[in-house]
Chains A and B, each alone.
Chain A
Amino acid sequence: MPRLCFEKTGNAVWISHLDLMRVFQRAFKRAGLPLTHTQGFNPRPSVSIALPLSVGIESVCELLDFDLDGDEIPNDEICRRLNGALIDGIRVREVYSDGRKIKHIAYLDCVLTLEYDAGVPSGAAEAIAALFARQELVVTKKSKNGNTEQNIIPMIRSLQVQNPDAHTLKIAARICCQNPSLNPMQPSAAIETYLPELTPDFVACRREAVYDLQETIFR
Chain B
Amino acid sequence: MTELKKRILPTVQKPARYIGGEWGEIKKDKQAVDVRVAFCFPDTYEIGMSNVGMRILYGVMNRMEGVWCERVFAPWGDMEVQMRNHALPLWALESQDPVCDFDMIAFTIGYEMSYSNIVNMLDLAGVPIHSRDRQELKNIVFAGGVCAFNPEPLADFIDFFSIGEGEESTQEIVSLYQKAKKEGWNKDAFLRAVSKIQGVYVPSFYAPEYNADGTLRKLEVKEDAPPVVTKRIVENLDTAFFPTEMIVPSTEIVHDRANLEIFRGCIRGCRFCQAGFSCRPVRRKHPEVLYRQAVEMLENSGNNEITLSSLSTSDYRGLKELTDQLLPYCEANRVSLSVPSLRADNFSRELMEKLQAVRKSGLTFAPEAGTQRLRDVINKNLQEEEILSTCAQAFAGGWNNVKLYFMLGLPTETDEDVLGIAELVYKVVQAWKENAANKKRGLRVHVATAYFVPKPHTPFQWEAQITPQEYLRRCKLLKEHFYSKSIEYDYHSTELSRLEAVFARGDRRLGAVIEDAVKHGARLDGWDEYFRYDIWQDAFSRCGIPMEFYTTRGYGEDELLPWDVIDVGVSKRFLLLERHRAYDGRVTPDCRHGCAGCGANGLLKEVACDA
Where the two chains meet, the residues of A that have a C-beta atom closer than 8 Å to any C-beta of B are 10-12, 14-16, 18-19, 22-23, 25-30, 34, 37, 43, 45, 55-56, 85-89, 115, 117, 167, 201-202, 204
Contacts and interface: CB of A to CB of B under 8 A. Distances in A.
Nearest to B24: A87
Majority-rule SS of B interface residues:
loop
Contact of B9 (A27, A28, A37, A56): A56
27 contacts: A11-B20, A14-B9, A14-B18, A16-B16, A18-B252, A19-B16, A19-B250, A25-B304, A26-B303, A27-B302, A28-B302, A29-B304, A30-B301, A34-B333, A37-B334, A45-B334, A55-B16, A56-B9, A56-B10, A56-B15, A85-B23, A85-B302, A87-B22, A115-B2, A167-B1, A202-B2, A202-B7
A87 B23 contact: yes
A117 B299 CA distance: 47
Given A15-B16, A26-B23, A86-B23, 12 more contacts: A11-B21, A12-B21, A15-B250, A16-B14, A19-B16, A23-B250, A26-B301, A29-B304, A30-B300, A30-B301, A37-B334, A115-B1
A22 B15 contact: no
Interface in B10-38: 10, 14-16, 18-23
Contacts of A19: 16, 250-252
Given A26-B248, A115-B2, A167-B1, A14 B302 contact: no
Interface centre among B9, B10, B301 (most CB of A within 10 A): B10
Nearest to A89: B21
A190 B248 CA distance: 40
A11 B19 contact: yes
Nearest to B299: A30
A42 to B, nearest CB: 8
Contacts of B20: 11
Contacts of A30: 23, 299-302
A14 B333 CA distance: 30
B1 A117 contact: yes
B356 to A, nearest CB: 13
A88 B21 contact: yes
A204 B2 contact: yes
Contacts of B10: 55-56
Contacts of B256: 22
A195 to B, nearest CB: 21
Interface of B: 1-2, 7, 9-10, 14-16, 18-23, 248, 250-252, 256, 299-304, 333-334
A88 to B, nearest CB: 6
Contacts of A86: 23
Nearest to A35: B334
Given A26-B301, A29-B304, A87 B9 contact: no
A4 to B, nearest CB: 17
Nearest to B332: A34
A22 B252 contact: yes
B302 A25 contact: yes
Nearest to A204: B2
Nearest to B23: A87
A28 B248 CA distance: 13
Contacts of B2: 115, 202, 204
Contacts of A45: 304, 334
Contacts of B300: 30
A202 B2 CA distance: 8
B287 to A, nearest CB: 24
Given A19-B252, A26-B301, A56-B9, A14 B334 contact: no
B93 to A, nearest CB: 10
A180 B308 CA distance: 48
Interface centre among A27, A29, A201 (most CB of B within 10 A): A29
Nearest to A27: B302
B400 to A, nearest CB: 15
Contacts of B9: 14, 56
A201 B7 CA distance: 9
A10 B303 CA distance: 24
B268 to A, nearest CB: 35
A119 to B, nearest CB: 11
A12 B6 CA distance: 12
A169 to B, nearest CB: 13
A16 to B, nearest CB: 7
Given A26-B23, A37-B334, A55 B301 contact: no
A74 to B, nearest CB: 21
Contacts of B250: 12, 15, 19, 23, 87
A30 B161 CA distance: 38
Nearest to B359: A42
A86 B22 CA distance: 9
Contacts of A167: 1
A17 to B, nearest CB: 11
A88 B23 CA distance: 9
A85 B300 CA distance: 10
A9 to B, nearest CB: 12
Contacts of A88: 21
**8 closest cross-chain pairs (CB), A and B:** A26-B302, A29-B302, A30-B302, A14-B15, A56-B10, A14-B16, A11-B21, A11-B19
Nearest to B18: A14
A48 B256 CA distance: 21
A11 B300 CA distance: 22
B82 to A, nearest CB: 14
A16 B10 CA distance: 12
A97 B428 CA distance: 55
Interface centre among A14, A87, A89, A204 (most CB of B within 10 A): A14
B565 to A, nearest CB: 45
Nearest to B303: A26
Contacts of A55: 10, 15-16
B250 to A, nearest CB: 5
B206 to A, nearest CB: 45
Contacts of A22: 252, 256
Interface centre among A18, A30, A56, A167 (most CB of B within 10 A): A30
A29 B16 CA distance: 22
B304 to A, nearest CB: 7
A21 to B, nearest CB: 11
A86 to B, nearest CB: 8
Contacts of B18: 14
B91 to A, nearest CB: 13
Nearest to B27: A88
